[in-house]
Amino acid sequence: MEQRRKNTNDISRSEIDQDYISKLPDEILAKILSIHPLDSGSKAVAHFTRLWSKPLIKHGGREVNVQEFESVISAFIANFDEEHPLKMPRKLEYHFNQGLIVTASIGVNMKLHLDFSKGNQGWEKKFWWDIVLNTMDLAPSSSYSLCIKTLKLTSINYICCEFVSSLISKFRYVENLFIEKCNGLRALRIEGLAKLVRLSVENCVDLKSVYVDALELTSLRNYGFLCWFWFHSYNYLEDVYFDLEGPGSKHLDYRVYYSLLKTMRDVRVLTLHGRMYEEVFGPLLFLEKEFRFSKLEDLWWIDGCMGEDNMNWLFSFLKYCTSLKRLFISIDPQRYSRRKPFTGDHKSSIKVKKSPLRKLKLVKLEGCKSDEEVMFFKEHMMEVFNVEPRVVETREGMQTRCLIRIPKRQTIGKATKSNKLKFCYKFVEELENNIGLCSKHPHMA
């Protein structure tokens, strides 16, 4: 009897493991998902989730015109049900002209991603691209206007940019625009007079210039290869991110960044690679002696090492950050860190007036090679700025630690680590929650 019951259970498990669900039509699946209890925890829900995240539509690769492309993508967007109980994204794979393939995915809060990286990438022709967003002449009730809040465009080339430009000119209320991996793109013009608040340009290797006409833009991100940003109006950026790889700004005159510097006057959160300061902002600020980042509170500084010259570059920049409260330093030896001659006096940080960083309360260092590097940094900061913030250090494989200064009488009979140090220190383990630190970069998604 027990053997028979065991065989019956095995058969039941085998039947359960078979994937009958994927054979059901999409309409039936949608109906099941709308009534299935979300708290059941059953295996069926997991099956539904995986199936719903797969591409649901796929078109053939025949030649189409711009209007037909718009019609397919627009219908895909319009049919997305944001009130779907599982709130999973929907996908579309569309094959059209000359081997082009767009993978479109849409999720909650009206996030749309158009990715052309899967199709033919054989074109290397350079092109200039105009993007018009949030056009004011479309009536809110227009059936041909689409509400998209976050738009991400990947691997646009000179052929598909015509299709994409026509499509997104129908979009309303785009607040976040992400452009990445667009090889061949030399110049980009973005017009989003209203609503556009965040712009990100990442890993566009051929891009040299970006012209922006967006009155409400407050966040700017440039990752990968440095390009020239020009703003039609004086925006007041609050959140700026510059992280460079590859060749720096040798192809550009640093003076063309003056417009960008003016828009950053009121920045509150800034991420800056050391090279960006050396090659662009350093020479500019040397000419603009009265300029200050008067509202900057959080600075994330990226560099290749913690040598004395690198610290001088950092301290030279810090003298412009009079309201700084938190400083985060990330050291990555793999990053490009070759120095470039600077016409200004980068050693002028030694002459900074005392207490220009009187609001600085916290410094976090990540990636230092040794304890001595952390100690030297703290002493150098005390010497230059006459300030002693809380210094926290984290290293791979180690607990987050806080560096504190201790009286010399506690070190009698103990060998000091270096006779170059003026004070004695020790590290104590520190919980990040206790000091209000966030291990995740605020710019990360």
Higher pLDDT residue, 190 or 332? 190
The sign of the CA dihedral 165, 168, 172, 177 is: negative
Task: Supply the mean pLDDT for the chain.
Answer: 76
What is the number of structural domains in the chain? 1
Q: Choose the weakest-confidence range: 70-79, 103-112, 297-306, 406-415.
A: 406-415
Residue 358 has pLDDT above 80, yes or no: yes
- 402 located within any domain: no
Closest CA to 323 of 251, 390, 269, 253: 269
Residue 190 has pLDDT above 90, yes or no: yes
CA 427 to chain centre: 32
Please choose, from the candidates 60, 71, 56, 150, the residue with its C-alpha nearest in 3D space to the C-alpha of residue 97: 60
Report the pLDDT averaged over residues 315-325: 92
Asked whether the predicted pLDDT for residue 342 surpasses 70, the reply is no
Res. 440 pLDDT band, cuts 50 70 90: low
Q: Tokens standing for 135?
A: 């056009």
3-state secondary structure of 403: strand
Question: In this structure, is residue 150 part of a structural domain?
Answer: yes
Tell me if 441 is assigned to some domain: no
Report the C-alpha gap between 200 and 222 in whole angstroms. 6
Residue 279: Cβ within 10 Å count: 20
* More confident site: 303 or 356: 303
Examine the pLDDT at 236 and tell me if it is beyond 60: yes
Average pLDDT over residues 269-288: 87
What would the mean pLDDT of 226-237 be, rounded to a whole number? 82
Hey, what are 319's tokens? Answer: 């003298």
CB 295 within 8 A of CB 266: yes
- Does residue 120 lie in a domain region? yes
Q: pLDDT of 244-278, one tens digit each? A: 765 555 556 777 888 888 889 899 999 998 888 88
- Please report whether residue 213 resides in a domain: yes
Instruction: Give the containing element (helix H, strand E) for 317.
Output: helix 308-318
What DSSP designation does 169 have? Answer: T
> What percent of the chain stands above pLDDT 90?
27
Structural tokens at position 232: 């039609």
Is 395:365 a contact under the CB 8 Å cutoff? no
Say which DSSP state 163 is in: H
* Residue that wins the pLDDT comparison between 193 and 215: 215
Task: Look at residue 312 in the predicted model and tell me its pLDDT.
Answer: 85
Q: What is the structure's pLDDT at 181?
A: 93
Three-state DSSP class for residue 328 = strand
Q: Which residues contact 423 (CB under 8 A, 6 or more apart)?
A: 379, 405
Q: Which two structure tokens, joined as six digits, stand for 370?
A: 């040794």
Contact 100, 141 (CB under 8 A): no
Whether 362 has a pLDDT exceeding 80, the answer reads yes
**Residue 87 contacts residue 115 (beta carbons within 8 Å):** no
Looking at this protein, which amino acid is placed at residue 131? I
Residue with tokens 């967007």: 77
pLDDT category, 138, cuts 50, 70, 90?
A: very low
C-alpha pair distances (Å), 257 with each of 203, 260, 282: 19, 5, 11
CB atoms within 10 A of CB 348: 13
Q: Is 45 helix (H, G, I), strand (E, B) or coil?
A: helix
* Amino acid symbol at 175: E
Residue-wise burial string across 233-266, b where 16 or more C-beta atoms lie within 10 A, e elsewhere:
eebebbbbbbbbeeebbeebebeebebbbebbee
pLDDT at residue 158 tops 70: yes
Report pLDDT for 202: 93
State residue 441's pLDDT score: 54
The residue type found at 416 is T
Q: Which helix (H) or strand (E) holds 375?
A: helix 371-385
pTM of the complete model = 0.78
Q: Where is average pLDDT lowest: 40-49, 57-66, 417-426?
A: 40-49
Could you tell me if residue 207 is inside a domain?
yes
The most confident of the ranges 200-204, 260-264, 272-276, 341-345 is: 200-204
Give the structural domain span for 98.
Answer: 60-217
Half-sphere exposure of 324 toward its Cβ, with a 13 Å CA cutoff?
27
pLDDT of the residue at 149? 92
Q: Are residues 369 and 306 in contact, defined by beta-carbon separation less than 8 angstroms?
A: yes
Report the C-alpha gap between 389 and 408 in whole angstroms.
20
Contact 312, 384 (CB under 8 A): no
Q: What share of the chain in percent tops pLDDT 70?
A: 68
User: Does 127 map to a domain?
Assistant: yes
> If pLDDT is split at 50, 70 and 90, which confidence band does 335 have?
low
What does the DSSP 8-state code read for residue 228? E
Does position 54 have pLDDT exceeding 50, yes or no?
Answer: no
278-297 average pLDDT score: 87
Determine the pLDDT at residue 403: 92
pLDDT reported for residue 11: 46
Residue 45 forms part of a structural domain: no
Question: Residue 348: what pLDDT?
Answer: 43
| pLDDT at residue 410 in the model | 55
CB 404 within 8 A of CB 389: no
Q: Quick check: 343 pLDDT over 80?
A: no
Q: Helix, strand, or coil here: 70?
A: helix
Tell me which of 254 and 242 has the higher pLDDT: 242
d(CA 235, CA 263): 5
Encode pLDDT of 376-391 as tens digits.
999 988 888 888 999 9
* Cα gap 298→326, rounded to integer Å: 5
Reported confidence tier of residue 114, pLDDT bands at 50, 70, 90: very high
- Judged against a pLDDT cut of 50, whether residue 346 lies above it is answered with no
Q: Is 389 helix (H, G, I), strand (E, B) or coil?
A: coil
CA distance 116 to 121: 9
